[in-house]
Structures are given as structure tokens and as C-alpha cells.
Chains A and B, each alone.
Chain A
Amino acid sequence: MNAVTDAILNPAIGWSVLAGFSVLWVFLGWYWGRNADALDDYVLAGRRVGLALGVATAMATWVTSNTTMAAPQIALQMGVWGMFGYSLGAVGLMMFAPLAGRIRRLMPGGYTSGDFVRLRYGKTAWRVFLVISLCYSLGWLVSMGMAGGVLINALTGIPYHYGMTVILAICVSYTLLGGFRAVIGTDFVQAVLILVGVVLIAVLAIGNIGFEAIHSAALERRPELLNLLMPAAIMFLFNNLLFGVGEIFHSNVWWSRAFSFREGVGGKAYLLAGLLWAPIPIVAGFIALPVPALGLNVPAADMVGPLVAANILGATGAVLVLIMVFSALSSSLDSLLAATSILVVEDIYRRHINPAADAPTLRRATSRVIVGLGLLTWMLCAPRIATLAELLYFTGAFVASTIWPIAAGLFLRRANTAGAITGMVVGSAAGLYSYFAIGFYVAALVGAAVSMLCVIIGIIAAPASFEWRLLSEPEPAKEHAA
């Protein structure tokens, strides 16, 4: 099999699209971030992000390449429940809304989710949390980098290493140039592009084939796609919901946004983003249902979206998919680079290595860490080891075990340190065991359930009496004291 001859677009068109959008992202990143010299401007966009950019950045970041490519794949494998199950990823965004508002109020000078765990539960819980969070961030970065190379190769025939290098280099460049302002500004443009692309492809599929033809062909040739009682799909639905909640509750990608939104915006932004995000996987997943009506032979389930788009729209459809995929990958990669770099700088460099670091020193360290993370991700993606990308799925058990320590820690004074630590450690272990003993679809469920028990037992057995004012720390000095 030759990737170039099997690709939907020819490489010249692929390179042109990549070059055009790369120039656009880097220019916009530089333009929006050109005055972001101070630490808070660079890592949190000045803590004054409004509702429009807040909603768009939450939506665009949560629309990963998985949403645009895996939603049709899941729909092809699990039918209509797969589409609904994927859309439940929105629950995490909506449930984070009240947390975002509270985080902003309780920690007006906070930088990371690690800051919260350190101040709320102490250093042991913080270090356990950091291991979970950094492994998850790295897993997500590697899976996005690899997905970039694989998808660009499948769509355009551009070799894996070139595509992966281009997407990583572009995201590192504009995040480095403009910091969090570049991330949030480009997220807005990327969100609009993704939404318009999904709508165009779905409307043309319905217009060209029609609901009746799509439904009757599926009923005749693939009736399982329309089955409302598919047990594996129903289990996927619950697991996906908890995995999503765990990802959002613990990850600094979402906490850094909560810190960056202006007072009163966080709750509304996450709620609206969740409501607008929920139908995207259903529309994207629906793109797979015309496969029986079109009589398509799908060699790999993860290519069903581009195949249907290309079949209905020709090269224009394939270009649309490439733009959507490039936007979805960029919007997630830039957010991960920005959020993970400040997590490393604040929680490892400042709190472990250089406690006296002033704001300019931390600002310079953040730039270096962005470049370092980009290089590390490239090195891990270069060998193209598929199991590395699959590592992200293992993290379902780990991230789900942080849901209760985070939520209880933010709202209940009585949540205690022992409950939080055992919740994260025992919850992760139980979730991981169930992953291997039962299946991937129960790992997050078990991790969250065991963690919840630990937190509740901790509250009943030895209730704490936490003082919320302890969460408010002074920001780092603007410059080093003489």
C-alpha cells in the first residue's frame, strides 16, 4: 500500500492548505500576543478574557481530532448510541461551569490546578496529583502529535514525519510568540472553521442522499447501526462521560482558562460551550451513516469521515476535512502546550527548584518549557509507536480518580487530605485493574467510584475544617527584590 497513491488529496494541495493555515496561525499568534510581556499576560492572557473568546476556546479545545474523526468512526462501529455517547463529553464542560466560577473567586492569583491541590490538601497529595496530571498531559500531547502525522498522511499522502513535524512546529511557534493570547485568539477562528466545516458536510450529505435513503440503506445492510439496545455502546456512553469529567476537572488546560476568564465569565462560558459542543459529535457521527447508502468500502474505520466527505463533495470535501482536522489538532495542541508549560514552571520549577523566582524569570522559563515540550513530544512521536498514542486510554482510570478529590475539595470544607490521597491512589489502581480484568469501558467508572468512596469515608471518619482564604496566595514579585 502506498500512502501517496491511496490518499484522498494530492500532496501539492495538502502542502498548500497546510502552508496557508500555518502562516495564518503564526501571524495571528504573533499579532494578538505582541504586547504580552508580563507573566500574567503571557500565561493567562491578563486574566481578563471575555465571554466570546471564553466560549470559543473551551469549545475548540474540546473538539480534538478525535471529535471530528473518531465520532464518525464510533458511529460506524457502535451506531446511533456511539454518536450520543460521544456527545456526553459535553457533560464535563457543563459540570465544570460552577467549578470555574468558584476557582476564579477563591484563587484570584492562582496559576494551575496543582496550586489548588497543594494549598487544599498539602504536598503529598499535590505530588501524587502532579504525576497523574503530567502523565495525562504528555499522553494527550503525544496522541495529538501522532494523530496529526497519521491524519495528514492519510488525507494528503504527505509523509507521517513531515506532517507531524509541521503541526508541532506551527503550534509551538505561535504559542511561543503570543502565549495564552495567541492560543485563545486562534481558538476562536479554529472553532468557527470547525463548526462551518461540520455543518457543510452534513448538510450536503443529507441534501445529496436524504434521510429516507440513508435510513433505509442502513436498515437493510447495517441494521446494528440503528439499534437502540447495543450493550457495548451503552457502556461506552457512561465510561466516556466519566472519562470526560475526569479529564476536565483535573487538567490544567481547563483550570488555566478558569484563571484567565474575567470575573463572572467562567461559569457562563463553560455552560454555553458545553451546550454548543454536545451536538457536534452527533452531526459529525451522522456523517458515517450514509456509508451503506453510498455503498462505500471503508478500509479503516477511522477514515470514514474523510471518505464520505470526499465521496459526496470530491476534492472540495477532502480539503474541508483537512482544514477541520488541522484546526481541531492545532486548537488542542496549542492549549496543551500553554497549560502544561505553566504547570511545569509553577509546580516544578518555582515550587521545587527556584522558589525565589520573580515574574520575568518565570516568563522566560515558560517560553523555554514550551520549546522543550514541543521537542519532547516530537521525539516521542517520531518512532510512531502506536502503543504510545494508546497510553491516553489508560489514563481514564487515573483522571477519573481525581474527580471527587477536586470537586469535594472545592466545595466541602470537610474533605480531608487522607481521603483525597487514597482516592487518587486506590481509585487509579482499581480503575487500572478493571481496565485489564474487565475492559476499557469500565476503567473510568471504577476509578471514579472507588475514589468517591475514599473521599466520603475520609469526610465521615475525620472531617477537616478547611479555611477557604488559604487558597488565595500572593502572585510572584514583578521583579526580583534587590
Chain B
Amino acid sequence: MTISVGLLGTLVTICLIIVAAAPVLLLILWLRDWKRKSLW
């Protein structure tokens, strides 16, 4: 039983979107913490 191209493509694309969004989210959180003076 092998994984279909559709399932593999969908799965990898979803993961890729999350990984690509992660640095953006980190930068947004950084800015928020920096404005609140709560980076550390």
C-alpha cells in the first residue's frame, strides 16, 4: 500500500506552509514583545 501523489503533495504542502509561516509568526511575536518591553 503506497501513499498517493495527491495525499503526499497535500501533506507536504500543508507542512511547507506552516514552516514558511513560522518565521513570520516569530517576527510578529518579537515585535509585540518588543513594544510591550517584555522580550526579556
Contact = CB atoms under 8 A, between A and B. Distances in A.
Nearest to B20: A199
Contact of A50 (B12, B18, B25, B39): B39
Nearest to B27: A192
Interface in A31-71: 45-46, 48-53, 55-56, 59
Interface string B12-32: 101110111011011101101
Interface stretch (A99-107, A235-243, A278-286): A278-286
A52 B15 CA distance: 21
A461 interface: no
A196 B20 CA distance: 7
Contact of A80 (B8, B14, B26, B33): B8
B26 A191 contact: yes
B1 A49 contact: no
A219 interface: yes
A199 B11 CA distance: 14
B11 A52 contact: no
A53 to B, nearest CB: 6
A226 B3 contact: yes
B22 A276 contact: yes
Nearest to B12: A286
A195 B40 contact: no
Interface SS of chain B: helix
Contacts of A282: 11-12, 15
Nearest to B33: A50
A141 B15 CA distance: 30
Interface residues of A, number: 43
Contacts of B8: 80, 211, 215, 226
B29 A55 contact: yes
Contacts of B15: 279, 282-283, 286
B11 to A, nearest CB: 7
A48 B20 contact: no
Scoring B14, B26, B38 by chain A CB atoms within 10 A of each residue's CB, the highest score goes to: B26
A271 interface: no
Nearest to B26: A56
A3 interface: no
A150 B19 CA distance: 27
Contacts of A48: 38, 40
Scoring A50, A59, A181, A282 by chain B CB atoms within 10 A of each residue's CB, the highest score goes to: A50
Contacts of B26: 52, 55-56, 188, 191-192
Contacts of A211: 5, 8-9, 12
A181 B2 contact: no
A53 B33 contact: yes
Interface in A231-277: 262, 275-276
B38 A195 contact: no
A191 B16 CA distance: 15
A234 to B, nearest CB: 13
Given A276-B22, A286-B15, 8 more contacts: A53-B40, A192-B27, A199-B20, A215-B8, A215-B9, A223-B2, A262-B38, A276-B25
Closest 8 CB pairs of A and B: A279-B15, A52-B29, A215-B5, A50-B33, A226-B2, A211-B9, A52-B30, A50-B38
5 contacts: A52-B26, A52-B32, A202-B19, A219-B2, A275-B18
